[in-house]
Amino acid sequence: MTESPPTETELIQRAAEGDSDAFGALVTPHLSLFHNGIHRILGNTADTQDALQDALMSIHRDLPRFEGRSRFSSWGYKVCLNAALMVRRSRVRIHDMERSEFLTLGPFDDRGHHLESERLPEWQVEAQAHSLVEQQEMRECLTRALDELPDSHRIVFVLKDLEDWETDDIARHLQLSPGTVRQRLHRARVLLQARLRTHVLGGRP
């Protein structure tokens, strides 16, 4: 008689006890979900891989504390989103250090690549550099504002407005009612708008 495959609950228990094969079997069906969620936030393959590895290590480390109040995929996905946001925070710190050098490097294309062979008028170089700096500052403001949202609201915002999930899918994934999802999404948008106004306008109405 063929032995039935272990259930997710059994895999969680075995993985929490240190069974590496069980951990692999547990996370493998969800790797695509985890990877895509992180990539939608970071948009960079190398950073996505780094964040995914960090998330998997966090999942492995914290698995003994997983109480099963939500689906494993939901819990793991939240860990992945937090890992992605941590990488974004690191990016902001790096960009802050690089900004002081930015305007001395000459003209850039629309992807921020240095164009050593081009010789543009000085006014055009300054205008282009100023535009790129403004774009970078806006991205940083968005990142900081998103980081400041409460976790329960940030997850809903990311799933709906960044990943374009349907409300019912978010509710099912997070085991919430659709009404609760809509309430959290509305609140997240209001909070995000307020945070952005503070960052961009310095608190001016």
> What domains are there in the chain, each with its CATH number?
7-102 (1.10.1740.10), 148-205 (1.10.10.10)
Mean of all residue pLDDT scores within the chain: 76
Distance CA 91, CA 202 (A): 22
15's tokens: 């993985």
pLDDT 10s digits, 63-114: 999 988 888 998 998 899 888 878 877 765 544 444 444 333 444 444 444 4
Question: Average pLDDT in the 9-34 region?
Answer: 94
Note if the pTM is more than 0.85: no
Distances (CA, A) of 198 to 21, 121, 141: 48, 35, 9
What pLDDT, on the 0 to 100 scale, is given for residue 114? 40
What is 83-134 written as a DSSP string?
A: HHHHHHHHHHHHHHHHHHHHTTS--B-TTS-B-TT----HHHHHHHHHHHHH
pLDDT at 148 over 50: yes
Distance CA 178, CA 63 (A): 28
